[in-house]
Amino acid sequence: MARESRGEKARRQILDLNISGLSDAQIARDLGVNRSTVGRWRKGQTSPKKGGKGGKLTRLWKRTNKRLGEGGTVNLTSFYRRVWVSKGQPQLPLALETPPTYSWPANAPVSIMATFSSWLHRYPEGDVDFAPKVLSSTFRDSQSLTRGSNGEAALTDALIQAMTSTQNYPLIYAEMSAVLLKWGKN
């Protein structure tokens, strides 16, 4: 799976900032560009030039409190390493950089999930791939995860638990294809 392009990243960040309450005009003022430029980036018509305002957009996005709205999905894939298990060993930490923190109302059905394009177990007869595989964890007030958590610890726990539950046929390789934060249905 390829990393997202500058244009895709800018589009995702602007949409996140819009959801968090910043208008295109406010984003433009903070970046020192025209509002129409931010609008073209958001629509995917153009993208920030390499070494230009894209870095400033990323810094604005990282320091803004983000909110996950009803029915929303946030792609956090670019914050996580691609290979989670290699030669039977978890590759920790899973996140390459700290994922952003999102908030949502109490009791909202929000979960973080990782999908895998490869999930390889070792059997006496040979290696078997059980992909596609999904690991997920739901954020609820009744559980230990709290609003504002970025979910990395939950995914690490889910991975270790999956590895422990199949010790007779060890997980030898796992390649992640996507990490999503989703607001599901009640």
CATH number of the domain that residue 59 is part of: 1.10.260
Residue 141 Rama label (left phi>0; alpha psi -120 to 50; beta): alpha
| Each residue's pLDDT tens digit, 173-183 | 999 999 988 88
- For residue 13, the enclosing domain spans 6-64
d(CA 36, CA 116): 38
**Does residue 142 have a pLDDT over 60?**
no
Q: Is 161 exposed, middle or buried (0-12, 13-18, 19+ CB in 10 A)?
A: exposed
Which of 64, 83, 98 is the last residue in one of the domains?
A: 64
Say if 146 falls within a structural domain. yes
- State the pLDDT confidence band at 39, using cuts at 50, 70 and 90: very high
**Does residue 138 have a pLDDT over 90?**
no
Mean pLDDT value across residues 128-147? 69
Regarding whether 144 and 89 lie in a shared domain, the answer is: yes
Q: Is 153 exposed, middle or buried (0-12, 13-18, 19+ CB in 10 A)?
A: middle
Say if 80 falls within a structural domain. yes
Regarding whether 112 and 59 lie in a shared domain, the answer is: no
Regarding whether 126 and 87 lie in a shared domain, the answer is: yes
Say if 120 falls within a structural domain. yes
Regarding whether 27 and 93 lie in a shared domain, the answer is: no
pTM: 0.71
Which of 42, 64, 86 is the last residue in one of the domains?
A: 64
Say if 1 falls within a structural domain. no
Q: What is the pLDDT of residue 181?
A: 85
Mean pLDDT value across residues 51-78? 81
Regarding whether 170 and 83 lie in a shared domain, the answer is: yes
Regarding whether 113 and 38 lie in a shared domain, the answer is: no
Regarding whether 151 and 105 lie in a shared domain, the answer is: yes
| Each residue's pLDDT tens digit, 2-32 | 567 888 888 888 988 887 778 999 999 999 9
Regarding whether 98 and 161 lie in a shared domain, the answer is: yes
β-strand pairing of 102-103 with 66-67: parallel
Regarding whether 173 and 146 lie in a shared domain, the answer is: yes
Report the helix count and the strand count for the chain, using DSSP H and E: 5, 9
Q: Report which of 140, 135, 67 is spatially closest to residue 110, judged by C-alpha positions.
A: 140
Q: How many domains does the chain have?
A: 2
Regarding whether 107 and 40 lie in a shared domain, the answer is: no
